[in-house]
Amino acid sequence: MRLLQRIFHVGLALVTTVSVGCAPMRGHVAPAERTRAEEVADFKPVQPERWTLANGLQVVFLRDAELPVVKGRLFVRAGALWADGYSVGTTSAMGDGMRMGGAGTLSADALDKELDKLAAGIGSSFSAEFGGVTFSCLSGDVDRVFELFSDVALRPRFDSDRLALWKGQSLEGIRRRVEDPSTVASIAFTQIAYGETPYGRVSSSKDITSIKRSDMIELHQRFVRPDGAMLVVTGDIDRAKVEALATKYFGSWKARGSAMPPPPEIKDEPTPGIYFITLPFQQASVKLGHLGVPRFTPDYPDIDVFNEIFGSSGFGSRLMKRVRTELGLTYGVSGAIVPGLVKGTNYVFLQTKANSVGAAIDESIKVLEQLQEKDPGNEELSERKAAIANSYIFNFSSADEIAGRVARQELLHYPADYDQTYLPKIESVTARAVSEVARNRWNPSKLLIVIVGNEQALANLEAERAKTDSPLRNLPLSKLRFNETVVMQ
């Protein structure tokens, strides 16, 4: 699914732009009469080579000698969702600290200087589901950089001074959340939708202050394991060299013999309603929606087409056309169904003037209801399906993206034939299937509506709710405070 690609982003990407109208395979010249859609449908990206080390680490390799550069990424399937018992933010501190805090025999400062001398880059991070380490270097320096890369992955030092620096930066970021209404709305929506589950946890200053170096070491030992991990290498290097480097630096990495446990469950549904946070912004930020579907429900192609028509395609979407272009009620608006690991979210996000917040929400809901009540027209359906097909090739714009895509799809448990069947499935989506998604996957009675705005926005909302035909009329209104995170009043 197109939106799933936003879930998993680790490391640098070498992007070589290609035109959708270019020949889809090297050495192949498409006949002049072939349409762009036909060329895209016939596109077959080169497949990377794969093998597995004795400890279970999978290696994905794709040679690309266009530039004298080598890139690598170690993908690890673990993250904050499995960090119960630790302060919120400890997983992020551990992920960032693997690179920031020095590694192997090098202190943090020494590692910085060594990489600067080599004009190379190494990064590390962990999020809710995944973590990893990346590197990029000139092909002539790959031996030394790969050694440093393995040290960052397997032997981080977690320097205490760098942890203090990280805490200071994180605390400043938390302090400044309240300055951005869209950030406040997104945090509040996440907390309300997912509640006290690991999916709804948001770090506070207290959490960050209490993070301990010993906890970071424990999480690293628990999370960073070869079982299920994937090493991706691309660039100006041959397979024999990659095999030698992987064996030398990761071959002795001890397997745990067990996978990470299943992800945490989400048992409870949040209480529908309107949640208003009063802050002195001239414009109101709104995020509305409810919990959604897990990944790869059978109708995932229908969902993708629905998203394009409804709200994920910018100015081509119904939300943008109606609420912004025709009515002028928002500065920007988008919406989609975003599948998740256990439960995703359906959302609409918009920003509007304080005196139009009620109307903007009402009209956004009406756009959804129109899709629930009537199938989209054939012309609109064809245009949106063509947009999906025409942009699909950009998922394969470089060797690094192609090989990384293989790893991401396996770690996210994509269907084995996903890329081979995606475009045919999109093409087969019917207008009726799109409206069925709108009816079956959205439930207006379950809406959570988070609004961040001033007193004028609140007054406008209350006036809108007083109207007998408003979809907001029967939703209870709660006022919340925001102090780093949501505080119920």
CATH of domain 2-18+46-177+185-250: 3.30.830.10
- Cβ neighbors of 294 (< 8 A, separation 6 or more) are 339, 340, 341, 342, 343, 344
Residues 77, 82, 88, 90, CA torsion sign: negative
First to last CA, the chain: 39
Beta strands in 15-130 (DSSP E): 49-52, 58-63, 69-76, 121-126
- What kind and span of H or E run contains 451? strand 448-453
Report DSSP state, residue 331. Answer: S
Q: In the numeric block, which tokens belong to residue 290? A: 């409810």
Task: Name the residue ranges covered by the structural domains of the chain.
Answer: 2-18+46-177+185-250, 273-488
What CA–CA distance (Å, rounded) separates 251 from 54? 7
CB-based contact 431:381 (threshold 8 Å): yes
How many residues make up the chain in this entry? 489
Q: Would you write out the chain's pLDDT as a tens digit for each of its 489 residues?
A: 554 444 444 333 323 333 333 333 334 444 545 655 566 567 777 899 999 999 999 999 999 999 999 999 999 999 999 999 999 999 999 999 999 999 999 999 999 999 999 999 999 999 999 999 999 999 999 999 999 999 999 999 999 999 999 999 999 999 999 999 999 999 999 999 999 999 999 999 999 999 999 999 999 999 999 998 999 999 999 999 999 999 999 999 999 888 789 999 999 999 999 999 999 999 999 999 999 999 999 999 999 999 999 999 999 999 999 999 999 999 999 999 999 999 999 999 999 999 999 999 999 999 999 999 999 999 999 999 999 999 998 999 899 999 999 999 999 899 999 999 999 999 999 999 999 999 999 999 999 999 999 999 999 999 999 999 899 999 999 999 999 999 876
The 69-76 sheet, strands edge to edge: 49-52, 58-63, 230-235, 69-76, 131-138, 121-126
pLDDT at 44: 76
| Domain 2-18+46-177+185-250 identical in fold to domain 273-488 | yes
**Of the candidates 244, 25, 222, the residue with the CA atom closest to the CA atom of residue 131:** 222
Six-digit token string for 205: 């200053």
For 64-77, give one letter per residue: b (16+ CB within 10 A) or e: beeeebbbbbbbbb
Q: From CA 7, how far away is CA 411, in angstroms rounded? A: 12
62 contacts 48 by C-beta, under 8 angstroms: yes
Among 408, 315, 322, 310, residue whose Cα is nearest residue 363: 322
User: According to the model, what pLDDT value does residue 39 have?
Assistant: 65
CATH 3.30.830.10 correct for 273-488: yes
pLDDT score recorded for residue 1: 54
Buried/exposed code over 146-178 (b: 16+ C-beta within 10 A; e: otherwise): bebbbbbbbebbbbeebbeebbeebbeebeebe
